[in-house]
Amino acid sequence: MLKLVRFNYLYRDGSNFKRQGSVEFSNPEQLTIEEIDNRLKSCFEQESFFIAHQIGIPELFLYADEPITDDDHCYHEYQSLEEIENEHSANPSRTIGEFLTVVQTSAAQGWKAFDPLDHLSRIQARLT
């Protein structure tokens, strides 16, 4: 059975309320967890902070369901990686190598911070 890499991350607001998420990637390159971890940390601000939409993963903002507060910001936090068994018949659409390329490109271009209130307005406009 093929192994996958699970990228675990979270959104933590200024009051330490959290929402966790994960994304799975195939690993045909057979990169080690340690190598992936080192490459990610070298790209993220302070080894853990990133803008989710810049790297094509779901945003976990609390303010998507609750009113925006002064505790809200735009950064997500890298938590961990784990190797898991592929329990599905289909592989994820992206490889971990492709994901690393996107992360490295985004880091090189700079993490584009934004005001959560402006971002929420854009999300709501798309839904209406």
Q: pLDDT, tens digit, for every residue of 61-79?
A: 887 677 788 889 999 999 9
Overall domain count for the chain: 1
* pTM of structure: 0.89
Number of Cα atoms under 13 Å in the Cβ half of residue 113 = 6
Q: pLDDT, tens digit, for every residue of 70-105?
A: 889 999 999 999 999 987 767 788 999 999 999 999
Domain range holding 95? Answer: 3-127
Q: Quick check: 124 pLDDT over 60?
A: no
**For residues 90 and 109, which has the higher predicted lDDT (pLDDT)?**
109
* 8 Å CB contact between 14 and 70: yes
